[in-house]
Structure 1
Amino acid sequence: MNKGNHTTVTEFILVGFSDVPELQYFLFAIFLCIFIMSLFAHMFLIVLYRFNTNLYTPMYFFLANFSLLEICYISTVTPKMLVNLLSGDKTITFHGCAAQMYCFLVLASTECYMLAAMSYDRYNAICHPLLYNSIVNTGTCLKLIVGSWIIGFMVATIQTFLTFSLPFCGPNKINHFYCDIPPIMALACTDTQFNEIATFMIVLCVVVGAFMLTVITYVQIIWTIVKHHSATGSKKAFSTCASHLIVVTIFFGSGSVMYLRPKTSYGTDVDKFMSLMYTIIAPLLNPFIYSLRNNDVKFAVKKMFCN
């Protein structure tokens, strides 16, 4: 704290899981294993795509980019959390907290629209198979990827500026394991109604908007599968889409619960668990969800190890 005419917060304390100190080392071991497994699983998918020409299709191009995004995504939160679990000093500087939030929001917002882009790819593959190669070409894939990143940077810039332009002159303990919007707004020493409304509108546009795009594409996909495909074709199409639907449900479901609420309802251990779902658990599950149900990936793995 700096004392003058008023008190200004220069650092925050990430409370994390300090309410169960006897579990600190156990939680450290668990989260470290999850972090390492996530990194290796996503790196393996990227290497698999890079060295298997059979996977040079838009679907796996998106999956490789998604894995790269997930590596960055989990690396914005987990390392600091691991340090805090072992260290008695759980502080993070004001600017460090802002940087962590900015990086997290860039990656989370980008992931929303990258998942929507992957749904669009599946929509064209199933609903417009004859035109698929002309619609989802290299240029289209790059535009969707770049567009997702642009949206991510725009959202992060606006939201981080709105959050850290608030005055912080009182408590500096963040009841969370990383710098997230709701617990930081709860520490502001001014009325945050405008920020809450702005956050709600941004999340509504970004998260709900991307989710609705995904839902609309899958309604069309399911209708096309039921109407036009044979039993064998339907099973293969559903199998291809099921993995993506599971990932979308986990990510959007847990994220919506966290952000589409007023500030006053935040602060329970349930919130930390929900945050764990989309920041740490989901990045671990995603590569296995995509690979275990995918015959092309299984074949590529066998081919790579045989060679």
Structure 2
Amino acid sequence: MAAPLPYCGRFAPTPSGPLHFGSLIAAVASYLDAKAHHGRWLVRIEDVDKPRAVAHADTTILRQLEAHGLHWDGDILYQSQRDPIYQAAIETLTARGLCYYCTCTRKQIKARGAHYTGYCRDKHRSSEGAAIRFRNDRAVTAFQDAWQGEVHIPAEFAHEDFVLFRRDQLYTYQLAVVMDDIAQGVTDIVRGADLLTASSWQLTLWQQFTERQPRLMHVPLALDPEGRKLSKQNHAPALCDNKVPEQLAAAFAFLGLDAIELSDDPATMLAAATQQWATKYLF
């Protein structure tokens, strides 16, 4: 058995707009967990879905992180620059017989049921106008989460042959996030609970490329007054540059930490929060 890697966490926002309070919660949680473990904390811009990327949103996000004292280690990685890495991964899986072309539309898939049924698995489709799906025969259906406990994923979802390369010629998030986490030596993934279910697909892909598996922590989601997840799609308001101490304090409170005295120096507040995190959430 290889020695375990040193702790490495990451925050990986999509540059579709500025950070909001829900984003801050995920950033703070991943940062505190990394610092409490005396580990590295990376920032990655997840712009693999290139049409969703908004011009200069990455610059705004990085500025917002720095304003809140969330300083990252190393260089920023941009998924939009890594197509050759993702293509090589698909070629590796294809050589193992784990990929196939699929020409099904969303409408056709929906007409057959709630989940993709593997309709094109053995039809030997042409690559023209086709997606590439992963032949998901060894699905991860359960895993341990540091916040959620033991997680069981519905079999119909976990075993679905998910897409690695879309019909519109874009690599998928599921593929990109796994290849980047492995390449960057990420050991711990701390993020919002909206990605809890997708973790089954990602862990399934991890096992195709390495025996090492990441530790997971999915923190609760902040909701709007209608009970919807705070998101850019739901027009969540951007973080305010002149309310950094208050926003940090609110994020700490949301994550279950005791009240921390406001300070114009974010580093002071983050240091106090890190001490609490180490006491409450390190096992």
Q: Please give the TM-score of this superposition, normalised by the length of structure 1.
A: 0.23
- For the pair shown, which has the larger CA radius of gyration, 1 or 2? 1
